[in-house]
Amino acid sequence: MPTRFSSKDYLLSPNISNTNLFGQVSGIDHNGVKTTLDVIEEQPLTIYLNSQEVVTAMTIGDYPEYLAIGFLYNQRMLKQEDELLSVEFDPELDVVVVRTDRHTDFEAKLQKKTRTSGCAIGTVFGDMMEGLDDISLPDSKITTSWMYSLATKISRTDSLYLKVGAIHGTVLCKKSEPICYMEDVGRHNAVDKISGWMISEGIKADDKILYTTGRLTSEMVIKTAHMGIPILISRSGFTAWGVELAKKLNMTLIGRMKGQRFCCLSGEQRLIFDFKLK
């Protein structure tokens, strides 16, 4: 049997034993036999910045504080220099309140929303391109052997996807080692959770790789760029605008990675081909 990876192999990873994250439904299978299946739960989470309600997101409910912090930073409603006074989650109201030491200027952003192509309906506030021209991604390298090792380890990790399905995963990696694994019904939520964890723990982005099971859309590229991560990998496909933005940002974008095959769409100068198929 192939070696499996558990939560002990990560700094943070899905808690598949948390029964609050999934429930059961009954149905009839292809043979007409009644069956019971485990299914992922989804619930609303309302995010406040100081005294202002910002958004209600559908999420699986784990790591709500990380999701709120990552969402607000990736939406540019918070800046790197902002000091977080508190992050409080109320499980009865399903509300996270993030408080800062200054009055934020995000009210104008609430006047303009862009609905994205993200699963579970992602939403971007304000100008989607804001701040992108100021981003300079580091020129850290990635080897093909690291990529193949990561793909193998991630696919063998105990996850909610393997247990119940209908969910996306995003993994923060360094070289050939996966570090932090987040899952959610929307891939944008999983990315925001990782962003919130990195900010909370003071994790550097310049030598990291972001792996996702979801499509490489414009929103995924923008979030990854704002996080300062230079390399984005997916086992799924990509959109034209996602590729265009990655090229503009000089981000290494790798899609359709399955087994030892992939397509590098942007930033190929970071790739080191140290392992080739025979």
CATH number, position 127: 3.40.140.10
pLDDT digits (tens, 9 = 90+) for 216-227: 999 999 999 999
Q: Which domain holds residue 228?
A: 1-278
Total of domains in the chain: 1
Which portions of the chain are predicted below pLDDT 70? Answer: 1-3, 6-7, 104-129, 276-278
Angle between helices 218-227 and 64-74 (to 10 degrees): 90
Residue by residue, what is the 3-state secondary structure of the chain? CCCCECHHHCCECCCCCCHHHEEEEEEECCCCCEEEEEEECCEEEEEEECCEEEEEEEECCCCHHHHHHHHHHHCCCCCCCCCEEEEEEECCCCEEEEEECCCCCHHHHHHCEEECCCCCCCEEECCCCCCHHHCCCCCCCEEHHHHHHHHHHHHCECCHHHHHCCCEEEEEEECCEEEEEEEECCHHHHHHHHHHHHHHHCCCCCCCEEEECCCECHHHHHHHHHHCCCEEEECCCECHHHHHHHHHHCCEEEEEEECCEEEEEECHHHEECCCCCC
pLDDT digits (tens, 9 = 90+) for 11-56: 999 889 899 999 999 999 999 999 999 999 999 999 999 989 999 9
pTM of the model: 0.90
